[in-house]
Amino acid sequence: MVRMTIKSMLLSALFLFGSASALAADVILKPFVLASKSAGTVTEKSAQVRTALTAAGFTVVGEYAPYSGADIIIVTSDELKKNAAASDFGGYGAVQRVSVTEAGKEVQVSYTNPVYMSHVYRMQGDLSGVATALAGALGKVEEFGAQGMTAKQARKYHYTFGMEYFTDPSELAEYGSYEEAVAAVDAKLSGNKNGVSKVYRVDVPGKQESVFGVALKGSGDSKFMDDQYIMNEIDFRDLKSTAHLPYEVLVSGNKVYALYARFRIAINFPDLSMMGKNSFMNIMKAPEAIKGALQKTVQK
């Protein structure tokens, strides 16, 4: 019989632990999770989704129908808010988005992948508990939306050379205090001006930070900031990425930020080609159009 010394047992354990860590680090993550595909209507499925999410401990904070045949339900939870509070600019990850979308003769229910989002937003925790809870409430068929990235790649992500990282947001406005900023932004977004309107607000506990979801509506000269216009160009695959919406505005301290669209769009559509049909070239005016509309709306 072969006897293992304590030293050899420890070395074996360390090897196994290291191998497991390496495997975990190499797991490929994608932006969205398909929960189900079935017959029915968006109205029926949305009601079922809201009930399931509430029963699973999530709080519905807003709902947004950006265009016909699509509905997005935005939720938060204690775990989401706790992780947001522990993370720099963690408010972006204080919510998850669940979409209900007509696609041909079926209705797709999908949601943002919490683990993927935790890494692109460089959060402290990986939100695996939230991922388990969403899968339990809604189901999980497959992850989709891109070829995928490892956690390490997601934390350093930018679309290409010279384009923005998570750490390069747009600074939209500055106020005298957090209290003044959050009250002003809430009022201005609720006023539905410049095609920008409030979908939800979540305050991050224990810190001066609040995240707002915003609907973007434009036409004519302002069409490049319009949610439907942008999604018509980029959300063209069979599995719909409707849960990309809505965009966020973040009040952190006395300043108001938004992730620049070349980052915010790219994290959910990282495989989108630079040129050609259904490419970033077709929405090249969108980043500045979105920034301009948000800035004009929340400025002091």
pLDDT tens digits for range 218-272? 999 899 999 999 999 999 999 999 999 999 999 999 999 999 999 999 999 999 8
- Give Cα 44 distance to the centre of its chain: 24
Q: Please give the pLDDT value at position 78.
A: 97
pLDDT in tens, 18-41: 444 444 558 999 999 999 999 999
Q: Mind listing the domains of the chain with CATH numbers?
A: 28-298 (3.30.310.70)
**What is the residue-wise DSSP string for 178-202?**
HHHHHHHHHHHHHTTBTTEEEEEEE
Taking 50 as the threshold, does the pLDDT of residue 117 lie above it? Answer: yes
The reported pTM is: 0.90
3-state secondary structure (DSSP) of residue 172: strand
The bridge status of strand 106-112 relative to strand 96-103 is antiparallel
**pLDDT tens column, 263-289:** 999 999 999 899 888 888 899 999 999
**Does residue 14 surpass a pLDDT of 60?**
no
From CA 82, how far away is CA 204, in angstroms rounded?
A: 8
Instruction: Give CA angle at 142 (110, 66), nearest 5°.
Output: 20
Given this model, what pLDDT does residue 25 score?
A: 55
Residue tagged 């191998």 (tokens): 19
